[in-house]
Structure 1
Amino acid sequence: MSTPRTLTLPDGVHPATLETDRGSFATLMATPDIGTPLGTVLLVPGWTGSKEDFTPLVDHLARYGWRTVAVDQRGQYETPGPADASAYTLAELGADLVAMSTALGGYSQLVGHSFGGLVAREAVLTDPSVFSTLTLLCSGPAAFTNKSTLQSLQMLSFGLDNLPIEQVYDLKLEHDVKNPGYVAPPDEIAAFLRKRFTSNTPTGLAEITRRLTDAEDQTDRLAKAGVRLQVLYGESDDGWPITVQNDVAERLGIEPQMVPDAAHSPAIEQPAATARFLVEFFHDHSRFTTD
């Protein structure tokens, strides 16, 4: 989960509903002030996240000349989702991104953060023709393998199946505050984090949590998809191990890139630097090619 540092939207960044042939999706969107956009960047949040995880990055990318759209996936925060477990497979979530890119005119630069990277990968494997590039931002090749992480995820999904989502959040928060590295956010941000979590479709959040325990490695298939690829992570990323992300990059035939002074949420922690890494990749067709 990423924790926004402010809820104030920069000038030019505004909420918008994206209509697709697979439903409506809540977004934060920005377009350049001057000239025709260079293209479209589609930003996909991770587990328990939302479009707000990208707010400063949306602004920076628009200033570089890109129409930028950060989304809530189905069942996430302000995008409704069905209470049907089968609606939250990676295949279904990936098909949503294909529909979003198509509705935006196709050829999107797709950026998937953390769990969103697994979904973005699935979208490219489903229909690479509607994407120009894919950036795996602090994401991994498959489910987590750390036993304690898996146990926590399994407990959370069980709780979501059996308890009110508000109670699940309170139990999760009670667990989180015991972490030695926990820093309490300002009251406004704390209220937002609770509202965001409890606004998720419980079935959807439970199933997304399970995907982090059972997702299969599709790296070799992705290497053959024909879409330019980027692996980007924070210097002290504490999601998938950096060694694992480096291995993904090697298997994809590319060099991984690291955002200095950032951890698992570079779009919030270092938005300007993250935007530069992304924009350089979007424009450079020579350095980041697959075999």
Structure 2
Amino acid sequence: MNSQAAFTPPPGTRAYPLRTARGEFAVVDSPVAVGVPQKGVVLLLPGFTGSKEDFGLLHEPLGARGYRTVAVDGRGQFESDGPADDESAYAQAELARDVLAQADALGTHVHLLGHSLGGQIARAAVLLEHSPFRSLTLVASGPAQISDSQQQRVKLLRDALGVMGLDEVWQAILAMGPPEEVGGPARGIGGLELLHRRWLGHKPAQLLATGRQLCTEPNRVAELAAVPLPFHVLSGAHDDTWPVTLLDDMAIRLRARRTVIPGAEHSPNVDQPLPTAHALADFWDSVQHDKVQHDKV
């Protein structure tokens, strides 16, 4: 395990099943730092083949800035249960309703953040009902379907899942070198051993359904722009999944804050966690400031 792979959760962090009206979801819930007033609660949604552990390096710096962070495994991801062979259970609208239920279970308005596929699910949730949320941050998550090269990789994965078991597919992924959207980076979440265990925890139907979503997602930026929420588009300086220029344009259309993290690619939360955490907290601080100013008027 490399030195970046290990991290110690902040004191008080809890891993537990969050009970909601739509079932239980595995979460890592990290409090604000001792002596720091809580400014808000953040719900963090991982990407394709990802999990709540992808946000492990963000908890402590965000807690130091006054934000309680709750990272979740979506339905059929890693430690959250779901049907193994019913793809309809993972339709985007179903996953979006899960997010609304998670926010409701937390009992407060939350800042919503989605990475990659998680960003598109977060967008779908906001389009269903925006009132539970204080803001929406899209991290390395584009306006529509993923790039042609990544579509080909996802198609290879989906084809493999049709004829092989999860462990056989894992060995094939390792042999070809996993791209960001099929396997994810090992550092920051416990190394290859945890990646392997996480992969085996995913439900095949979830991977098949969400992989198809990534390859067919329509452009819903105009719909999202009509929602009265503050938006933030954050990415690395380079991204093969959605070209950075597409993210730039999306941010303009959303009138969103735009942050590019130097030295990061598709997973800035793992590649450059401290600059990413600072940029996120700065945005959420601005949302709170704007609310205070509005209330004074």
Do they fold alike, i.e. is TM over 0.5? yes
| Aligned match of 2:21 | 21
- What is the deviation of 1:158? 2.1
SS in 1 for 2:251: helix
Cα separation, partners in 2 of 1:124 and 1:178, compared to 1, 3 Å? closer
Contact 1:44 1:71 survives alignment (8 Å): yes
1:125-161 deviations in Å (ceiling 9; x for gaps): 0110000100001110111131x32222112112223
Distance in 1 between the 2:283 and 2:257 partners?
11
Contact 1:234 1:259 survives alignment (8 Å): yes
- What is the deviation of 1:37? 2.1
- What is the deviation of 1:178? 11
- What is the deviation of 1:36? 4.9
Give the gaps of 5 or more residues in structure 1. none
| Aligned match of 2:162 | 161
Distance in 2 between the 1:185 and 1:111 partners?
21
Cα separation, partners in 2 of 1:11 and 1:245, compared to 1, 3 Å? same
Distance in 2 between the 1:282 and 1:178 partners?
31
Q: How does 1:219-258 map to 2 (within 5 A)?
A: 219-258=221-260
SS in 1 for 2:17: strand
| Aligned match of 1:196 | 198
Distance in 2 between the 1:260 and 1:100 partners?
32
Letter in 1 for 2:166: I
Cα separation, partners in 2 of 1:220 and 1:97, compared to 1, 3 Å? same
Cα separation, partners in 2 of 1:68 and 1:244, compared to 1, 3 Å? same
| Aligned match of 1:212 | 214
Contact 1:13 1:59 survives alignment (8 Å): no
Cα RMSD after superposing both structures? 2.4
1:174-221 deviations in Å (ceiling 9; x for gaps): 111799xxxx968x6111111111110111111111111111111110
Q: How does 1:28-177 map to 2 (within 5 A)?
A: 28-32=28-32, 33-34=34-35, 36-83=37-84, 84-146=86-148, 148-176=149-177
- What is the deviation of 1:272? 1.6
Distance in 2 between the 1:263 and 1:54 partners?
15
1:36-92 deviations in Å (ceiling 9; x for gaps): 522210111001111110011022111211111011111000111113111111111
Distance in 1 between the 2:27 and 2:218 partners?
28
- What is the deviation of 1:7? 5.5
Letter in 2 for 1:246: D
Letter in 1 for 2:21: D
Letter in 2 for 1:73: G
Distance in 1 between the 2:119 and 2:278 partners?
19
Contact 1:160 1:203 survives alignment (8 Å): no
Cα separation, partners in 2 of 1:178 and 1:5, compared to 1, 3 Å? closer
Contact 1:161 1:202 survives alignment (8 Å): no
Q: Which runs of 4+ in 1 moved over 6 A?
A: none
- What is the deviation of 1:94? 0.9
SS in 2 for 1:256: strand
- What is the deviation of 1:274? 1.1
Contact 1:12 1:59 survives alignment (8 Å): no
Return 45-54 or 261-270, whichever deviates more.
Answer: 261-270
Give the gaps of 5 or more residues in structure 2. 291-297
Distance in 1 between the 2:248 and 2:178 partners?
31
Contact 1:75 1:201 survives alignment (8 Å): yes
Return 39-48 or 152-161, whichever deviates more.
Answer: 152-161
Contact 1:114 1:138 survives alignment (8 Å): yes
Contact 1:232 1:259 survives alignment (8 Å): yes
- What is the deviation of 1:236? 2.5
Distance in 2 between the 1:139 and 1:276 partners?
19
Contact 2:136 2:232 survives alignment (8 Å): yes
Contact 1:112 1:120 survives alignment (8 Å): yes
Distance in 2 between the 1:78 and 1:178 partners?
22
Return 85-94 or 33-42, whichever deviates more.
Answer: 33-42
| Aligned match of 2:261 | 259
Letter in 2 for 1:281: F
Distance in 2 between the 1:178 and 1:38 partners?
36
